[in-house]
A = this chain, B = another copy of it.
């Protein structure tokens, strides 16, 4: 009988796994497996990360965010079943139960030889008083993005409040600002963008305020007031009410593991499914998982972490597909690299922040520098701030953060590559990085930061008496 692979979830990980499995099997001349994908939404393979830019109007068409439609996947030989929700998994019998979300709500069962959990993440949506009011939106799925766009057009909203000042929060703040709304961002943390340390977070705050965004930090949201017609009128916070015509909840996401957990799969302390390096669920030969629903190894903290990010999800899908096709693929873990922007402000980070380094048990020193993005005399020259965190004594790079303007934050990849290789700051000081006036000063910001960090490491070493 033809081998059957069932994939639960038709986004980055799921469709990439399905495609890779089919393609690799074909390349090896093997018999093609039957690949069935169950997707409860209306879309496959779309870029959730692109939603803010579509809402902002920078991406004109929703369909631009869809890398491949169900029809395109079907043409590639994948049996994609849309609006179909997996309701239970029996890993002993190797059976998935499902239910149609449209039409007659019919149910059914599918036997599988291999199963892939690609169930993604669930947005954090706190059960606050009034959160179901009209005008309050999540921003995790393309469907939700669609609702925001429609609501903005229909409601003539003027004042937007974004709850949460992390990645999605600042990106949605930018989107609302771009659409001409007055924007307030509320977060209970003491700074916006806690993915960088407080010193750099302060720079982000100032920049956001300079853009005209009201940034309320250390502020908890307690509920929502509504108008007579039931639409949101204000966000009630510990510091008073903030008037709002539209509210976006951008509090991040948590791994969606309920189905897997009910099936008895192992969930780690981070809340994500635990897999081996080949992305196989521990203890289960023929169950795989990847993307936002798993936890991955952090190469520096040595802990499992759940990081919802499209690039990881795509990598996992490819690795799972390779293994399903009889190939060999392993995921080497992450180091927490991320990048974002708020209008013209770019933010990059990799490795561990101070709190993370401390929590992992590291002793460390830090150094922060300012550097120009291009030669100081060139048009477009603007300063960026770069912070490095290095292990004490060894000088090994543990983390780096960049806040700057155009052509600054992508440099984080150089630090990421250095961390990946366990480089010390001293060793980085004279690295052969590219230089020309339109691209960097003679000493690239990376080198300047490495040099100051290396000195901090040296200065930190206690001098024992001779």
Contacts and interface: CB of A to CB of B under 8 A. Distances in A.
A416 interface: yes
B423 A339 contact: no
A51 to B, nearest CB: 9
A249 interface: no
A337 interface: yes
Contacts of A461: none
Contacts of A417: 414, 417-418, 421, 423, 431, 433
A235 interface: no
Interface in A257-314: 309-314
B332 A430 contact: yes
Contacts of A81: none
Nearest to A50: B437
Interface stretch (A126-134, A357-365, A405-413): A405-413
B432 A350 contact: yes
B64 A377 contact: yes
Interface string A411-453: 1111011101101000100111111111110111010000000
Most chain B CB atoms below 10 A, which of A313, A346, A442, A446: A442
B438 A53 contact: yes
Contact of A65 (B309, B341, B377): B377
B409 A433 contact: no
A346 B440 CA distance: 13
A47 B377 contact: yes
A53 B339 CA distance: 31
A340 interface: yes
Contacts of A314: 442-443
Contacts of A410: 407, 410-411, 434, 439-440
23 contacts: A49-B435, A59-B377, A59-B378, A59-B379, A311-B442, A311-B444, A312-B432, A313-B442, A338-B434, A340-B436, A341-B438, A346-B439, A348-B434, A407-B407, A409-B439, A411-B413, A413-B414, A413-B433, A413-B446, A414-B414, A417-B418, A417-B423, A421-B421
